[in-house]
């Protein structure tokens, strides 16, 4: 059926929010204020790994405008993990650190004051007595015997259904390697990346006369954040009204649930609106980054270019806490084979904890490092066996109907067509047999 | 330190404000006067989202003490926006999709105003140089540069004329 009266497809449509943006009338979180609004600032750990012996608020309390402090004892369900809503567990991140901190900048205590300046001044006067502990910053060192252990369950890795990593087993890699003409190995490392949205993370929580709370937030995950906030505060979901949708840049950096629970708690405790926004320094040094990955590839390849076996061991640096990394590792494990059909695959993908700033979501997280490693590895294979890198990819390209290592049947293969289009656009000439290929089932 | 009174012209209107010494212009216009088009991306002179015009010159209001603008003309984006409709620079940003999250837009638009006032026909390179202090993290700079080229044409009465 051809629809002849399409009004939007194929047209440029002016943005609904565009007039607000070009006139500066769009309201962002930092533009919201109320006459009786309080400001929240965080006391953060100066150490990457330490035991908290005591916290002394006596000097902070003397700052004019100081209203109150909040510690872990004020948080009804202090230990949480964001992805509990999709069954990830156990809970492992404190809203406010109780006895230990696992990264530099971790939230320890909240200061609520009449003005932002007073909150900053009081927060700077809180005395922390910390006993520093040995820290670990490298994913492989964190898995060595004798490494400082970060988690209550006695290990520095997330447990996937009783296993120390996310495992994929497909065919028989040992047999594949035995048959192969070439064994080609590679080690790949990516770095953490800060999203650096122009608007920093923040929210305003406001108690309403009917006992509910309105939370204005720039989260990218409004209802996920509402649900987590209700669970942390041990209140019914319908006590919270979240208002959002206007985000001054996110890119995945605003999907974690960090500022809303504590600001909402402060609003409940004081009965007044509370604003909690990150400074630029907090956005850079404390907010989640794109996680860093280390990946080891071993491929068995035939002289005609067919990859007959692939073994991958990879390590995601979650930093100190889960955030979205356990999920990223699962996505990663489904993608380390790349858009290629390989009959024998063995994948061990680890979600590892270190004393670093937590990593989390950012545009294709988990998959992008896999794609980086896969494609550099493909070029390395082409160079080693003396084959044109385009040809190598056509030879190994997946087709609809193929089964991926994690048992997903391919339904949307487009690699062949994409490479044909790329060759056309860049003026690269391809042999006739590759121009004639399609992604149709073999 | 005791508060003091500072007088200047904000968006064409003479005002007297009472401020604490060293209060920034950013804090004054946003928190005291409720002109929130001036944004707060970094509060340390790094992003340009707080750009305002002082006597037509672009300045980062997060680093500017209010005392320094005494007796001078300050324009925020509210002062550029006509009572009805849009300024041609705003039209160009809207039409050319030079906006995504919108957070850098007020600073970008005022920077453009300053550029086109001193150079009505900037080259692409001159546009790029004028934007070096204004960070955009989402649209990329290409549609912004195109919007500024379109704005120059509109203001020069050459709208729709290809270069």
> Rounded to an integer, what distance in angstroms lies between the CA atom of residue B112 and that of residue B90?
10
State whether A38 and A111 are in the same domain.
Answer: yes
* Residue A440 forms part of a structural domain: no
pLDDT at A358: 97
State whether A179 and A306 are in the same domain.
Answer: yes
Of residues A64 and B1, which shows the higher confidence score?
Answer: A64
* Residue A17 forms part of a structural domain: no
State whether A33 and A177 are in the same domain.
Answer: no
- Nearest CB among A22, A248, A251 relative to B90 is that of A22
State whether A258 and A404 are in the same domain.
Answer: no
CATH number at residue A211: 3.90.1170.50
pLDDT at A8: 81
* Residue A20 forms part of a structural domain: no
What distances in angstroms separate CA A53 from CA A98, A132, A135, one per listed residue?
A: 10, 10, 18
Question: Would you say residue B163 has pLDDT above 60?
Answer: no
Answer for the pair A144, A300: CB distance below 8 angstroms, yes or no. no
What ipTM was predicted for this assembly? 0.95
State whether A188 and A335 are in the same domain.
Answer: yes
Number of folded domains in chain A? 2
Q: Tokens 């060759």 identify what position?
A: A423
State whether A220 and A346 are in the same domain.
Answer: no
pLDDT at B160: 46
State whether A184 and A206 are in the same domain.
Answer: no
Q: Does the distance separating the beta carbons of A24 and B81 come in below 8 Å?
A: yes
pLDDT digits (tens, 9 = 90+) for A163-215: 999 999 999 999 999 999 999 999 999 999 999 999 999 999 999 999 999 99
Residue range(s) in chain B whose domain bears CATH number 3.10.20.30: 4-79
Q: The tokens of A399 are what?
A: 């087709």
Question: How far is A107 from chain B, CA to nearest CA, in Å?
Answer: 21
pLDDT at A4: 72
Taking alpha carbons only, the member of A17, A28, A8 closest to residue A247 is: A28
State whether A251 and A336 are in the same domain.
Answer: no
State whether A292 and A265 are in the same domain.
Answer: no
Of A253, A278, A303, which marks where a domain is finished? A278
Q: Does the distance separating the beta carbons of B104 and A26 come in below 8 Å?
A: no
State whether A188 and A211 are in the same domain.
Answer: no
| Residue A169, phi then psi, degrees to nearest 5 | -125, 125
State whether A76 and A207 are in the same domain.
Answer: yes
Query: For residue A248, which residues of chain B lie inside 8 Å, CB to CB?
Result: 39, 41, 101-103
Question: How far is A117 from chain B, CA to nearest CA, in Å?
Answer: 12
Q: Does the distance separating the beta carbons of B39 and A28 come in below 8 Å?
A: yes
- Nearest CB among A14, A26, A251 relative to B102 is that of A26
Residue range(s) in chain B whose domain bears CATH number 1.10.150.120: 88-155
Q: Does the distance separating the beta carbons of B78 and A199 come in below 8 Å?
A: no
* Residue A200 forms part of a structural domain: yes
Answer for the pair A205, A260: CB distance below 8 angstroms, yes or no. yes
Mutation target to probe the A interface, by most A beta carbons within 10 A, among B48, B49, B87, B102 is B102
Taking alpha carbons only, the member of B105, B117, B152 closest to residue A28 is: B105
> Is A249 an 8 Å CB contact of chain B?
yes
CATH code of domain B88-155: 1.10.150.120
> Is B90 an 8 Å CB contact of chain A?
yes
Question: Would you say residue B116 has pLDDT above 90?
Answer: yes
CATH number at residue A382: 3.30.365.10
pLDDT at B162: 40
Strand partners, A340: A397
Taking alpha carbons only, the member of A267, A287, A284, A283 closest to residue A275 is: A267
Q: Tokens 């490693």 identify what position?
A: A373
Mean pLDDT estimate for chain A: 97
pLDDT at A1: 58
pLDDT at A7: 79
Residues of chain A with pLDDT under 70: 1-3
- Nearest CB among A24, A31, A199 relative to B77 is that of A24
Q: Does the distance separating the beta carbons of A22 and B99 come in below 8 Å?
A: yes
Mutation target to probe the A interface, by most A beta carbons within 10 A, among B38, B49, B86, B103 is B103
* Residue A91 forms part of a structural domain: yes
pLDDT at B59: 98
> Rounded to an integer, what distance in angstroms lies between the CA atom of residue A230 and that of residue B121?
56
Question: How far is B70 from chain A, CA to nearest CA, in Å?
Answer: 24
Q: Structural domain of residue A186, as residue ranges?
A: 166-193+288-412
| Residue A65, phi then psi, degrees to nearest 5 | 100, -10
pLDDT digits (tens, 9 = 90+) for B37-77: 999 999 999 999 999 999 999 999 999 999 999 999 999 99
* Residue A353 forms part of a structural domain: yes
> Is A11 an 8 Å CB contact of chain B?
no
> Is A37 an 8 Å CB contact of chain B?
no
CATH code of domain B4-79: 3.10.20.30
Answer for the pair B58, B114: CB distance below 8 angstroms, yes or no. yes
Instruction: Determine what percent of chain A is predicted with pLDDT higher than 90.
Output: 97
B38 SS3 class: coil
pLDDT digits (tens, 9 = 90+) for A46-58: 999 999 999 999 9
Of A256, A278, A300, which marks where a domain is finished? A278
Query: For residue B111, which residues of chain A lie inside 8 Å, CB to CB?
Result: none
> Rounded to an integer, what distance in angstroms lies between the CA atom of residue A268 and that of residue A416?
57
* Residue A283 forms part of a structural domain: no
> Rounded to an integer, what distance in angstroms lies between the CA atom of residue A335 and that of residue A189?
16
Contacts of B120 (CB under 8 A, 6+ apart): B152, B155, B156
């Amino acid at each position: 059926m051809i629809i002849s009266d399409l009004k939007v497809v194929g047209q440029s449509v002016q943005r609904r929010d565009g007039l607000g943006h070009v006139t500066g009338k769009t309201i962002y979180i930092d533009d919201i204020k109320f006459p009786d609004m309080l400001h929240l600032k965080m006391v953060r750990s100066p150490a990457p790994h330490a035991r908290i012996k005591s916290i002394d608020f006596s000097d902070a309390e003397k700052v004019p405008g100081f209203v109150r402090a909040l510690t872990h004892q004020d948080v009804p369900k202090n230990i949480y993990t964001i992805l509990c809503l999709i069954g990830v567990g156990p809970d492992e991140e404190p809203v406010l650190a109780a006895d230990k901190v696992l990264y530099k900048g971790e939230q320890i205590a909240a200061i609520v004051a009449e003005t932002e300046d007073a909150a900053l001044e009081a927060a700077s006067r809180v005395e922390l007595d910390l006993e520093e502990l040995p820290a670990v910053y490298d994913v492989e060192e964190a898995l060595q015997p004798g490494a400082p252990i970060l988690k209550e369950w006695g290990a520095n890795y997330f447990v996937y259904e009783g296993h120390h990593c996310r495992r994929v087993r497909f065919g028989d890699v040992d047999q594949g390697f035995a048959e192969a003409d070439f064994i080609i190995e590679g080690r790949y490392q990516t770095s953490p990346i800060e999203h650096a949205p122009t608007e920093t993370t923040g929210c305003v929580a406001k108690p309403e006369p009917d006992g509910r709370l309105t939370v204005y937030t720039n989260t990218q995950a409004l209802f996920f954040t509402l649900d987590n906030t209700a669970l942390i505060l041990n209140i019914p979901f319908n006590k919270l009204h979240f208002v959002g949708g206007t985000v001054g840049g996110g890119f995945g950096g605003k999907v974690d649930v960090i500022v809303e629970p504590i600001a909402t708690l402060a609003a409940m405790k004081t009965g007044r609106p509370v604003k909690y926004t990150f400074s630029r320094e907090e956005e850079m040094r404390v907010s989640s980054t794109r996680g860093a990955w280390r990946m080891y590839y071993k491929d068995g390849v035939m002289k005609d270019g067919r990859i007959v076996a692939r073994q991958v061991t990879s390590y995601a640096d979650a930093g100190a806490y889960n955030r979205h990394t356990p999920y990223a590792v699962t996505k990663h494990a489904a993608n380390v084979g790349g858009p290629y059909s390989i009959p024998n695959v063995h994948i061990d993908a680890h979600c590892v904890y270190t004393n670093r700033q937590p990593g989390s979501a950012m545009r294709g997280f988990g998959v992008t490092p896999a794609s980086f490693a896969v494609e550099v590895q493909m070029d390395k294979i082409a160079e080693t066996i003396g084959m044109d890198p385009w040809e190598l990819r056509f030879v190994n390209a997946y087709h609809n109907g193929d089964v991926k290592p994690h048992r997903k049947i391919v339904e949307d293969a487009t690699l062949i067509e994409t490479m044909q289009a790329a060759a056309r656009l860049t003026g690269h000439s391809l042999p006739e047999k590759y121009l004639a290929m399609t992604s149709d089932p073999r | 330190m005791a508060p003091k009174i500072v007088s200047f012209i904000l968006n064409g209107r003479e005002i007297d404000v009472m401020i604490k010494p060293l209060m920034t212009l950013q804090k004054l216009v946003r928190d005291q006067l409720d002109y929130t088009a001036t944004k707060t991306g970094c509060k340390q002179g790094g992003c340009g989202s707080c750009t305002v015009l002082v006597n037509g010159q672009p300045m980062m209001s997060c680093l500017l003490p209010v005392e320094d603008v005494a007796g001078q003309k300050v324009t925020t984006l509210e002062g550029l926006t006509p009572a009805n409709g849009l300024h041609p620079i705003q039209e160009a940003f809207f039409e050319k999709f030079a906006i995504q999250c919108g957070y850098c837009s007020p600073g970008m638009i005022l920077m453009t105003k300053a550029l086109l006032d001193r150079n009505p026909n900037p080259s692409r390179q001159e546009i790029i140089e004028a934007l070096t202090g204004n960070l955009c993290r989402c649209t990329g700079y290409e549609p912004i540069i195109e919007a500024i080229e379109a704005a120059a044409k509109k203001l020069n009465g050459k709208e729709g004329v290809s270069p």
